[in-house]
Amino acid sequence: MPWSKKLWVENKLERVREVQVSTVCSICMEEIVVGSEGTCMPCSHLFHGACILKWLDKSRSCPLCRFSMPTLMHEERGVKR
């Protein structure tokens, strides 16, 4: 393994320390409570950190809007110039 996939995923996600508006995480269908921690996709959809990491392990797109995360292969080629 050239580099950590987990790190790659975390680089793309924005960690929200305190969620301002309660949302339903569409992966586990449970509420992300106001004041708890959440993780934001680049498309600005919010999920539980653990849920989205598990999801992105199998999929490359947002479960809500199908926003595609850039692929790992593409990233490897693009960054190293």
The residues of the shown chain that bind Zn ion, judged by CB under 5 A, are 25, 27-28, 43, 45, 48, 51, 62, 64-65, 67
Closer residue to Zn ion, CB minimum distance, 19 or 25: 25
CA angle 35, 39, 43 (to 5 degrees): 125
DSSP-derived secondary structure letter, 41:
-
Task: At 54, list the tokens.
Answer: 């598990």
Q: How far is the CB of 43 from Zn ion (least distance, A)?
A: 3
Residue 40 phi/psi, 5-degree rounding, is -100, 130
Q: How far is the CB of 67 from Zn ion (least distance, A)?
A: 4
Closer residue to Zn ion, CB minimum distance, 29 or 73: 29
Give yes or no for a contact between 60 and 69, defined as CB atoms under 8 angstroms apart.
Answer: yes
Task: At 58, list the tokens.
Answer: 């199998």
Closer residue to Zn ion, CB minimum distance, 4 or 59: 59
Q: How far is the CB of 27 from Zn ion (least distance, A)?
A: 5
